[in-house]
Structure formats: structure tokens, C-alpha cells
Amino acid sequence: MIKTFKDLVVYRKAFEQAMRIYEVTKHFPKTEQYSLTDQIRRSSRSVCVNIGEAWRKRRYPAHFVSKLTDADAEATETVVWLDFSFACKYLNENIHADLSSEYAEIGKMLGSMITAPEKFCYESPKRTKRS
């Protein structure tokens, strides 16, 4: 049973990949510390943050979907930074392919949630008029 956003498989997967990116980027050149390293860490962490925020907004399906699309956009941004990291030869082909594949899977999972928010959202209690 899903009680918190931390119970979502997509959150756990995104968190795991963000931590992998943190470890991998420890070996990036110091000249990239305030650019590529910072950007890829930020975007990978933002996937998790937006999933958490979406969970808290599931009373409002449109807000829930909006935050999930933000998470999906951050996952895509992370893939672009992975591509730059590979092109700069900071990542080997295997790590690049594996991380890219994981983020593609995260994107698919988010897409499924976006197309069927009713599986996660709940209705606000109806208010009654006072007489």
C-alpha cells in the first residue's frame, strides 16, 4: 500500500539514480563544479522533489499532473546533461547508457501516472452550505 511518496517505485528509482549521479560526478573535473556537475545533480534531485510535491497535491488532479510533468521535464534535462557528460568524456559508454536507460524508464513511469492521475488522486470532501 502506498502511504507516502517514498512508497512510489518511481520515487525510489529516481532517488537511487540521483545518488548514482552524485557518486559519478564526484570524479568530474573541478572546472565543471559550478556548471555541469551542479546542473546534473540539481536536475536529478529535482525529479525526486517534484514527485514528492506532486504527492502532496493529489487532492487536486490538475496540480498533481502539473508537478509530475515538472518531474518528467527534469528527468529529460538530466538525460541532456548525461549526454554532455558523455560527449566531454566524463562518463564511459556503459554508465551513460545505463543512466540514460534508467531515466527513460522513470519517464515512462511518470507518463503512466500523468495519463491516469485518478489512480493516485482523491476527491476533496464536499462542503455543505450552512443555513
Q: What's 21's domain CATH number?
A: 1.20.1440.60
Q: How far is CA 83 from CA 55, 59, 79, 106, in A?
A: 30, 37, 6, 17
125 found inside a domain: no
For 7, list phi and psi in degrees, rounded to 5: -85, -15
This prediction's pTM: 0.90
Question: By residue range, what is the domain housing residue 12?
Answer: 5-116
Q: In this structure, which amino acid lies at residue 127?
A: R
> Other CB atoms closer than 10 Å to residue 29's CB: what's the count?
10
pLDDT tens for 64-93 read 999 999 999 999 999 999 999 999 999 999
122 found inside a domain: no
128 found inside a domain: no
Domain count for the chain, please give it: 1
According to DSSP H, which parts of the chain are helical? 9-25, 38-56, 61-87, 93-115
25 found inside a domain: yes
41 found inside a domain: yes
pLDDT tens for 20-43 read 999 999 999 999 998 999 999 999
129 found inside a domain: no
